Structure 1
Amino acid sequence: MKKLPIGIQTFRKIREDNFYYVDKTRFIKELVDNGGGYYFLSRPRRFGKSLFLDTIASAFKGEKELFKGLFLYDNWDWENPDLSGVPVIKISFGSGVNRSVDELQQSFSYVLNNISGEYSIESEYSDLKNKFSDLIKKIYEKYNKQVVVLVDEYDKPILDSITNKELATELREELKNYYSVIKDCDRYIKLCFITGVSKFSKATCTRLGFSGLNNLNDITIRPDYGDICGYTENELYAVFKDRIKDFDKEQVKLWYNGYSFTGESVYNPFDILLLFDNKEFRNYWFETGTPTFLIKLLEKNSYFIPEIECKVATERLIGNFDIDDINVETLLFQTGYLTIKNKMHKGNRIVYTLDYPNIEVKMSLTDSILSYLSNNNIENQQNNLYDSLLDGKVDMLEPVFHSFFASIPNDWYRKNSMGNYEGYYASIFYCYFTALGLDVIAEDVTNLGRIDLTVKIENIIYIIEFKVVEIVTDGNPAIEQIKNRKYYEKYTSSCADIYLLGVEFSKTDRNITRYQWEKL
């Protein structure tokens, strides 16, 4: 029996002779039943976008035997010449990094040459735009059928160079030449499906040559396509029932579930498959990408890190990625560090609440922010901090944080204004505690005000108030605000031990100047 190609495997081979099928083929039929046309899907990296495109390709090529046991096997008209034996043009920018326009041209030329060879069609054009258009027309004429065009990772060349605005703009303009062909060849195309990380906006459509595709169907946050990539809970427990039994289900959910695109929340497939292979909880997805640019953008904008949680965003904001105006929340959402937790209608507007999808992302991102800010290895400090919090050794916390602030180079402060305000110091504490996987609440609401930071570890609560002495000059210790406003009353009936911490900083000394604590 012919083995399934990797493209039709919406699963991973875990044992030598054991395949696990997570069947997403019903979505392909839905695309066709809706009349074909032009579709766009945005999802974070390593979420199954490429596999889905390969599955579309296999369906239209008529590779029926590959679908045995899947929904599409009995629900696709394999004898219909408009659905089977259809020529497919697949273009992917997912591999490698294009460090110049020349490299991008070479990459696209390689793709077009492969298409030319696959269909035994030659083009007399040397320039890439005309060659692409010519291939579509000649394949249509050869088979007397409209073609299927699949574009994978349409935006990767731009995102790879996002820190170099000039290069990113040049790459965008070059890609515009290629993508404009699609709208010009409309009558030769049966179905076009485009995937990427960044979501389409009107500006994106125009600047990437898609402005003519007025019927472009963006299914990124449509509830009925919410689980087109990723594993739902039912799929996880039905398909992998012999594997999931070896793990604490709540821990699996806490670590890897939580991605929502206004439909049912899904598990990150990359994480789940590596969890089964390695049999331990780790930051598998996060480790495959470095969010350095994102962290630099947070720093540049003097972003209050705790506000990443429960961020309210409009529909325009989450779909408005543009290299000329990069928004922090947009980038966080589209790259998978935030996801949709709630959708609300406010008048004529749709408003979303964004939050971390799961503990993997929350811990890893805050840990990366800490590592970026410090030249020192902070792992030993974090271990000591966790033990001190668990044992109630509050005196041991001050030297840990004092050492961290002392490790930040003076040059960093010279180039950034971020260290001049209270939110910066609160952000550092927040990142430290969150990176440990603790339950952390910033701006914790009480009936008498907001606690700067609340940290919970098992049945212990730490209530923390921050103060920058050059900004608040009343001379009152930070801890007094906790006591005067009785912030602790919120937790007296639910926690065994409550600690009050007042931490004061000097933006001149760039470190802690007073550290006080009490146990109730």
Structure 2
Amino acid sequence: MKKIPIGRSDFKVLIENDEYYIDKTKYIEEFFKTDGSIVLMPRPRRFGKTLFLTTLKYFFSNQEKKEHLFKNTYIYNSDFFKNHFGKYPVIYLTFKDIRELNYDLMIEKIKGTIKVEIRRLLDSINVEEIENEIEYKVYLENILKGQASLAYYENSLKALSVLLTKYYNTPCIVLIDEYDTPIQTAYLENYYDKAINFFRNLFTAVFKDNDLYVKKALITGILKISKESMFSGLNNLRNLTILEDELSTACGFTKDETIRLMQEYKIEKELHEKAIKMYNGYIFGKDTLIFNPWSILNFVVEKKFKAYWANTSSNDFIRFLIGKSKDFRTNLEKLLKNESIEIQINENLSFRDGELYQKDNLFSFLFFSGYLKCKEKYIKTVDDEDALFCKLEPTNSECRMIFRDVIKSYVRDSFNNQDINELLQALVNGEIKLFEKLFSYLLRDSVSYFDTKNENSYHMFLLGVLTNLSYEYEIISNSEAGYGRVDIILLHKTDKEKPAIVMELKAIDEFEEEDKDDALNKAIEQIKKHSYISLVKKRGYNNILAFGLVFDGKRCWVKRI
């Protein structure tokens, strides 16, 4: 049985090691025949973008004609293979590891990346045989000698494409992997404008009005950064986001591919059906269901249900963005309950001036990054123009885990674990007055950090505390119970003798001149009136702790039934 290639992203290494490969070679021809000489194909992280680009590299490259790599693939016996295999010079750059703390370090690392690619491509040719093009020869020679200005690097890919085309008498294929990784880091580290300026100059030089020297180009990343800031003037750029049908299954696994993989590795039917449900798919194009390869492959190896995709460090940027957004906090409860939110989709995102924090932009970013999926899309007229709207919800269980982690981070950033642990211990032990006191302390210290303006804000804050119990307790939030919707229920997952906790939350309404006692009584009456305790009893718990929890600014009060 072939080894599962966890983290393997180079097509040649994967094939020569005889590791498991889901054949995506038919999309080589589809890419080549797409309209537009430059294709931007954003996809969520860990979806096989690099593997697809390296597949293209080894297929088209006239310097690395490794026919044996393709012998058992879909494309091998096709006319397209005969006409195009090994026929083009290929320029390949990846920026996936460029995450530097400042602009100067970023530039130095990019210089090294470009220099390595120039040397790789020029070592096998005699540049002196190329007539004229003295300026471009000087550019590349000075780069290799370490004597080039930044302007030389900005023009390096253009110079390389010209010289290679002249030498081989055929235009180049240009492949750029993870183009936006350094841009995201630059945004976080406050050198975004300088980074954008460099990449704009680099890409404009090689792609604008350079059709004689670039036959086809593919650029991958996580999202499409606005054309105005990154790809200005590129009229030959084709955007194939996850909303498009073209190349929709070139990266990621289809449902059939996922099931076949699990069957080949003899995953029990019950387990693989559960995996399909837990890691259920992303919707690409009109209605194509796609699964994240990272989670599926890890599951096949470990046969354990974990948040494989959620627990990678590349979620840090997402956590940073949604931690800054009040719009996200407002919709967080809906997302955790798998309810849809209606969003106007913006395909031209910009990092400038806090634009990503704006409601629709942030959710568009989360959509294109794979954290939300579109359950329904439709066109509405906005300011006399047609605009695309989607009803979005978390893509799967892993994404809901990430959103729960965001709530945790709200709390964790303000308090130490000892404070939280003492509060939670008081709660699960039924020490209600101690819980009231400790929770009031948390509110006192957090009111400037967490926007506690209404009942929903307190609800989210309390959930942030309670998620620290998620390994032991099932946390039910705003769910139907009895004759209404209960705010929060905690049920121990394994011991039904432990107290089952039922909470109804209220924020004091100053407009109605309500006091804490009125609010507490209303909370208690609501628990009784709507029979919230019936859900708990139905689940087999008889040791029940039910109480109202009332908030007013930096204080809370508790009243037990």
**TM-score scaled to structure 1, two decimals?**
0.80
1:170: how far off? 1.6
Query: Can you list the C-alpha shifts for 1:424-479, whole angstroms capped at 9, x where unaligned?
Result: 22113445667738887766589998655577888999875321236575324343
2:319 is the alignment partner of 1:286: no
2:513 is the alignment partner of 1:469: no
Partner of 2:401: 363
Moved more, 103-112 or 441-450: 441-450
1:214: how far off? 4.3
1:240: how far off? 3.7
Q: What one-letter code is carried by the residue in structure 2 that aligns with 1:256?
A: Y
Query: Can you list the C-alpha shifts for 1:465-517, whole angstroms capped at 9, x where unaligned?
Result: 3212365753243435635874859979986779895542434444x411445
Partner of 1:273: 297
1:256: how far off? 2.3
Structure 2 portions without partners, runs of 5+ = 128-135, 140-147
Of 423, 439, 444, the match for 2:456: 423
Q: What one-letter code is carried by the residue in structure 1 that aligns with 2:58?
A: S
- Cα distance in 1 for residues equivalent to 2:376 and 2:392: 7
- Cα distance in 2 for residues equivalent to 1:25 and 1:10: 16
- Cα distance in 2 for residues equivalent to 1:27 and 1:401: 60
Of 85, 90, 93, the match for 1:91: 93
- Cα distance in 1 for residues equivalent to 2:442 and 2:379: 46
- Cα distance in 2 for residues equivalent to 1:404 and 1:138: 69
- Cα distance in 1 for residues equivalent to 2:66 and 2:75: 11
- Cα distance in 2 for residues equivalent to 1:284 and 1:44: 14
Query: Can you list the C-alpha shifts for 1:316-341, whole angstroms capped at 9, x where unaligned?
Result: 33653433311332333233332333
1:192: how far off? 1.0
SS of 1:102's partner is helix
Count of residues paired in the alignment: 498
- Cα distance in 2 for residues equivalent to 1:490 and 1:260: 38
Moved more, 421-430 or 473-482: 473-482
Partner of 1:255: 278
2:81 is the alignment partner of 1:73: no
SS of 1:465's partner is strand
Q: What one-letter code is carried by the residue in structure 2 that aligns with 1:34?
A: T
Native 8 Å contact 1:39 1:219 kept in 2: no
Change (3 A) 1:195 1:501: farther
1:32: how far off? 2.1
Partner of 2:366: 332
Moved more, 27-36 or 191-200: 27-36
Task: Name the larger-Rg structure.
Answer: 2
Query: In angstroms, what is the RMSD of aligned CA positions?
Result: 4.1
- Cα distance in 2 for residues equivalent to 1:75 and 1:296: 47
Partner of 1:130: 155
SS of 1:260's partner is strand
Structure 1 portions without partners, runs of 5+ = none
- Match runs of 1:156-175 below 5 Å: 156-164=181-189, 166-175=190-199
1:51: how far off? 0.8
Partner of 2:258: 236
Native 8 Å contact 2:281 2:291 kept in 1: yes
- Cα distance in 2 for residues equivalent to 1:490 and 1:9: 60
**TM-score scaled to structure 2, two decimals?**
0.75
Query: Can you list the C-alpha shifts for 1:80-127, whole angstroms capped at 9, x where unaligned?
Result: 2x5532111112110142223222322232232223222225731232
**Identity of matched residues, %:** 22
- Cα distance in 1 for residues equivalent to 2:432 and 2:265: 41
Q: What one-letter code is carried by the residue in structure 2 that aligns with 1:280?
A: K
1:283: how far off? 2.3
Change (3 A) 1:109 1:161: closer
- Match runs of 1:371-450 below 5 Å: 371-374=409-412, 375-377=415-417, 395=430, 406=441, 410=445, 412-414=446-448, 416=449, 418-431=451-464, 436=470
Moved more, 480-489 or 135-144: 480-489
Change (3 A) 1:143 1:293: closer
